[in-house]
Chain A
Amino acid sequence: MSAIDRLSDEFSRLPGIGSKTALRLVHHLMKASKDDTRRLARALVDVADKVRACDVCGNFSEHDLCEICSNPRRDVSVLCVVEEAYEVGAIERTGQFRGLFHVLGGRLSPLDGIGPDELNVATLLRRIDGSRGEIREVIIATNASVEGEATSVFLEQEISPMGPRVTRLARGIPVGSDLEYVDGTTIAQALAGRREM
């Protein structure tokens, strides 16, 4: 197998990339400067060698603790639980959340054989328990899918008896959208979750 074939074969294993796109990427790299291509290669090697899961929360990190866990200015009394590490970024970009995170690494999915033991649930419960009441609220930010909802029910069952307040992200009308174009289920959820003005 030639170097070109090998690279395009590697590209085509990535999500959303078929064999034609893979070849196009390879051709692009061959036309680009060798420095650019080497920089890309080094970035890939760095991701593979340096990025791992944070010891505490499971977020992407280059050290034992991720930037969020090691930041002394974060509010340690609020914990936000997400399914995947890349969802941490989505919440961080809002700039509205100053607490800490916990990454489950998935959701309950018995059809795929995924139960609490396959997720970072034990570490979450130990973390809450070990905080001796310092964690006062746990926000469950799992997705609004059937599996995400079941996961939130499970976590609520486990966490509530330990003391913290357990909350769930609100669901409703996307900001800036016209009511007319929002689907019925979302409007129904928004109606059920309406609040006093």
Chain B
Amino acid sequence: MHLSALSLRHFRNLRNQELELPREGVALIGDNAQGKSNFLEAIYYLETLRSFRGARDAQMLGFGEEVFRVVGTTEGGDDEPRGVQVAAAFQKKGKRKKVSVDGTEPDRLTDALGHLSAVIFSPSDVDLVSGGPSERRRFLDIVLSLNEPGYVRALSDYRKSLSRRNAALRAGQPWSLVSVWDQGLIRAGAEIMVARRDWIGTRASAFGDYYARVSGGRRARMTYRPNVSLEDAASTDAVEHAFREALEAARDREARRGVTVAGPHRDDVRLQLSDEGDDLDLRDYGSGGQRRTAALALRLVEAMTIRERRSRRPMILLDDVFAELDGGRSERILELMDGEDTGQVVLTAPKDADVRIRRDALPRWRIQAGEITT
């Protein structure tokens, strides 16, 4: 399966264009601030219906425009026989988002997620490693929402229960009125914890392998750091029980502080260097290059998840990712991507010389002031 056509209307600085994308992918070359990242943002918008840069929908409107619209058409292949058309539009007035799949609006926006099976690699990925726990939770939530059935709903239920429970705590309501939210919180929270634990548990070794291959042999580890202690809690029932006990234990503290302190909204993923017997946190002790390598390894694990869970070859979007890596690492990443079972590749770079992926076989497009020439 690959993205065969893309239509753009008033998306950031990009000119209104109808583009046909080659099956193998494309390399988009252009100077800084011409719209390279915007192009990838538009493509990835069709995957998650939001900006990979964390921008609000209104910020992606072309200057002075009222509506933006992105339409992508995929063509089937051996991994997914049927193509699909995903259209996403946003209207400034009323902040309305309209999404359709093959011309019909899905019942829920979340039903339209994940049709491209794309992974985006960007320089800001380093924040996954050097940023706070919320960055890593966001990463987990996006990956699991796209790949684990039921995760989106659990997340949405959890957030609803959490905000109401916090409101009850803030208002100083009696415990009998705070605890009515526990059942919903615990049920959804346990589902989230189990999904996160399973994902990290089954992919930790892949993370280590990718890290070793990009870094040229150095070792790193990924472990789940749940806020609720899950030792000996194997089944979902046991996780629910552990969560309930953690809430019990936190009761006085929560009443005092007026906020829910126990639960997966405070989870973290620990990323460590594990070279000479010592486990050093990459966030605190990693060099710039080591952190970037760990972030890349996370994205490679994400791509692997798409292969495993959706049986599709992931589309790879590379946003100028080689700018800040040394030559050796860049070479190894390119080799790795060529070797992995990946689908279409769309990459951006400031100079022709940076583009050697797929043995130079990618067609080159240029971009200047938002206009793409093919």
**Which residues does A use to contact B, with CB under 8 Å?**
108-111, 113, 115-116, 146-147, 149-151, 153-154, 157, 184-185, 188
* CB of A182 to closest CB in B, whole Å: 12
Q: Are A184 and B176 in contact, CB atoms less than 8 angstroms apart?
A: no
Q: Are B150 and A146 in contact, CB atoms less than 8 angstroms apart?
A: no
* Cβ–Cβ < 8 Å partners of A113 in chain B: 171
Instruction: Indicate the member of B153, B160, B180, B182 with the most A CB atoms within 10 Å.
Output: B180
Assembled-state Cα–Cα distance A147/B165 (Å):
10
Which A residue's beta carbon lies closest to that of B161? A146
Assembled-state Cα–Cα distance A154/B180 (Å):
6
* CB of A127 to closest CB in B, whole Å: 20
Q: Are A151 and B180 in contact, CB atoms less than 8 angstroms apart?
A: yes
Assembled-state Cα–Cα distance A92/B182 (Å):
32
Q: Are A146 and B177 in contact, CB atoms less than 8 angstroms apart?
A: no
* CB of A171 to closest CB in B, whole Å: 13
* CB of B51 to closest CB in A, whole Å: 27
Q: Which of A110, A184, A185 has a CB less than 8 Å from the CB of B167? A: A110
* CB of A58 to closest CB in B, whole Å: 21
Cβ of B173 within 8 Å of any chain A Cβ, yes or no, is yes
Q: Are A147 and B164 in contact, CB atoms less than 8 angstroms apart?
A: yes
Cβ of B183 within 8 Å of any chain A Cβ, yes or no, is yes
Assembled-state Cα–Cα distance A115/B177 (Å):
8
Q: Are A109 and B180 in contact, CB atoms less than 8 angstroms apart?
A: no
A185/B180 contact (C-beta < 8 A), A111-B163, A115-B173 known = no
Which A residue's beta carbon lies closest to that of B169? A110
Assembled-state Cα–Cα distance A115/B149 (Å):
34
Q: Which of A110, A150, A151, A185 has a CB less than 8 Å from the CB of B171? A: A110
* CB of B177 to closest CB in A, whole Å: 6
Q: Are B181 and A150 in contact, CB atoms less than 8 angstroms apart?
A: yes
* CB of B21 to closest CB in A, whole Å: 33
* Listed A/B pairs (18) with beta-carbon separation below 8 Å: A110-B164, A110-B167, A111-B167, A116-B177, A146-B184, A147-B164, A149-B183, A149-B184, A150-B161, A150-B180, A150-B184, A151-B180, A153-B180, A153-B182, A154-B176, A154-B180, A157-B180, A184-B149
* CB of A161 to closest CB in B, whole Å: 12
Chain B, 155-194, CB within 8 A of any chain A CB: 157, 160-161, 163-165, 167-168, 171, 173, 176-177, 180-184
* Cβ–Cβ < 8 Å partners of A109 in chain B: 164
